[in-house]
Structure 1
Amino acid sequence: MITLAVDSSSKVATVALMKDGKLLGEITLNDKKEHSVILMTIIETLLNTNNMSINDIDGYVVSKGPGSFTGLRIGMATIKGLSFGSGKPYVSVSSLDALALSVANFDGIICPIMDALRNSVYTSLYRGHSNLTSSSKTKDLDTNTDLQVYLEKLLDYSALDMDELIEIIKSKNEKVIFIGDGLDKYKDYLIENCPNCFFPPNHLNLVRASSLGEIGSSLLRNGIFDNSDSSPFYLKKPQAEREYEQRMK
């Protein structure tokens, strides 16, 4: 099964091409260019490099959020268009799950954080299964579509003030690893205020389409996919809408 995965939930635009769980290629751009300008170009470049066309794709994966309102809409619209135009299924996956998967072997709590502005972050909490037995390590996402072989979710997707998140982490009284673009802004604050915290190498703080694709490919292979009315989840209202509501009070 050949899968094309796309994430545009943040300022990063990332696209991965996978075949039967194997990564064939990935392009990740971490800049401020409009996703609407570069996303299709990245997809075309990746396909051409692998001597493929869009007709070779068996299924699509896209980030459903949380993240940038505009970026999520662009990514979802792009994948929906490719899916409906080709008659091939697509599935949406949280970028927070993809970030957590990158450090699933951490022996403690995994806390992905994505900048949500106004001193808040999009986040969730997971426990990595670092103590997998040799037999359980042979299991892969084909037969474990909920990722429970790799991750146990402790807190659902949330938009939290940083101090609120830190209090939740402290109450766990365990080691915690933070991962995600929120570290660009909050790493020093976390070091000062959150004991026993760890951080991955910087390159892991970017959402990778390959991680998203590994999760999504498993879902597609097991017949799990989105329908036509699927939409991103934002967790927070757009800033313009919040400001309007404030003025109307």
Structure 2
Amino acid sequence: MKILSISTATSDLSVALNEADHLVSEKIEENQRNHSVDLDPDIASLLAENGLSLKDIDRFAVAIGPGSYTGLRVGLTTAKMFASILNKELVGVSTLQALAQNFAGEDALIVAALDARNKNFFAGAYRGKEAVIADGHYHLSELLEQVGALPDQKVIFAGSDFSKYQEEIAAGLADKDLRLAEGEENLLHAGAIGRLAVSAPVLDPDQAVPNYLRRTQAEYDWAKKTGQEFAADSAYVEEV
């Protein structure tokens, strides 16, 4: 099964080609924020280098969230379009689960997190592929409390630069063997998305939506204006 994977969830752009769970080829552009412009050329280049076209792909996989609101929409819209037009399979993979795969094989709890500002994080904790703290939106103190309650002795924080919170993390988890990931360990690899996509459930391209883990400002404004409770994304429509 040939899988084309996409990540536009962070400032790094990544695309990859997998044959089942084997990585064939991957491209990563670090700190590249113009995803809407560069994604399609990167995909075209990746396919050309491997003598393939889009019709040869069996499954399209994408980091479905959390992450940059705009970035997630760019990646998911592209994957949905390919899957729908070509009548191929579409799967969405947790950004945080994919980040945790940078440490596959480590005997450690992996806390994968993306900075959501003001000491808040989109975060989840993983043992291998198993989520032991569900992906969510956490204040740092809440995240440390949940990690501290787990029996794991070795803990690795990855995804965001945690160096400015190093003292607070060390104090909150004083009984743990801690490590903060550095440099390329924090990159989100589309190849990891491809490996996870092998066993991920297939989505309906018409129904797939980003998993933001937090309401957008527009949705908050809409709820405040209308007085209605949050509902499914399909209900987020204002009559004009």
Category of TM-score, reference length = shorter chain: 0.7 to 0.9
How big is the alpha-carbon RMSD for the aligned residues of Structure 1 and Structure 2? 2.4
User: Which sections of structure 1, spanning at least 5 residues, go unmatched?
Assistant: 128-149
Q: 1:210 aligns with which of 187, 191, 204?
A: 191
Contact 2:148 2:172 in 1 (8 A): no
Structure-to-structure mapping, 1:75-114, within 5 angstroms: 75-114=75-114
- 1:52 partner SS: coil
Offset, 1:65: 0.4
What letter matches 2:203 in structure 1? D
Q: Distance in 2 between matches of 1:172 and 1:197?
A: 14
Q: Look up the match of 2:208.
A: 230
The answer for the alignment partner of 2:133 in structure 1 is 155
- After superposition, the Cα gap between the structure-2 partners of 1:244 and 1:94, relative to the gap in structure 1 and judged at 3 Å, is same
The residue that corresponds to 2:160 in the other structure is: 181
The answer to whether the 8 Å contact 1:113/1:182 transfers is no
Q: Is the 8 A contact 1:106 1:177 kept in 2?
A: no
Q: Secondary structure at the match of 2:199?
A: helix
Counterpart residue number, 1:121: 121
The equivalent residue for 1:13 is: 13
Distance 1:202 1:188, change over 3 A: farther
C-alpha spacing 1:47/1:188, structure 2 compared with 1 (3 Å): farther
Q: Which residue identity does 1:161 align to in structure 2?
A: H
- Read off the aligned partner of 1:176 and give its amino acid letter: V
Q: State the Cα distance separating 1:79 from its structure 2 match.
A: 0.3
Quote how far apart the aligned CAs of 1:26 are: 0.5
Instruction: Give me the identity figure in percent.
Output: 30
**Deviation of 1:28 (Å):** 0.8
Q: Could you state the TM-score of these two structures normalised by the residue count of structure 2?
A: 0.83
Match of residue 238 from structure 2: none
Distance 1:185 1:237, change over 3 A: farther
Report the 3-state secondary structure (helix = DSSP H, G, I; strand = E; otherwise coil) of the residue aligned with 2:99.
helix
Question: How many residues are paired up?
Answer: 223
- Select 2:150's aligned residue among 168, 172, 179: 172
- How far is the alpha carbon of 1:188 from its aligned partner? 5.9
Moved over 6 A (4+): 243-249
- The SS at the match of 2:100 is helix
Shift of 1:109: 1.8
- Cα gap change, 1:20/1:108 in structure 2, threshold over 3 Å: closer, same or farther? closer
**Unaligned regions of 5+ residues in structure 2, if any?**
228-240
Give the deviation of 1:54 after TM superposition.
1.1
Partners of 2:96 and 2:124 within 8 A in 1: yes
Letter of the structure 2 residue corresponding to residue 208 of structure 1: H
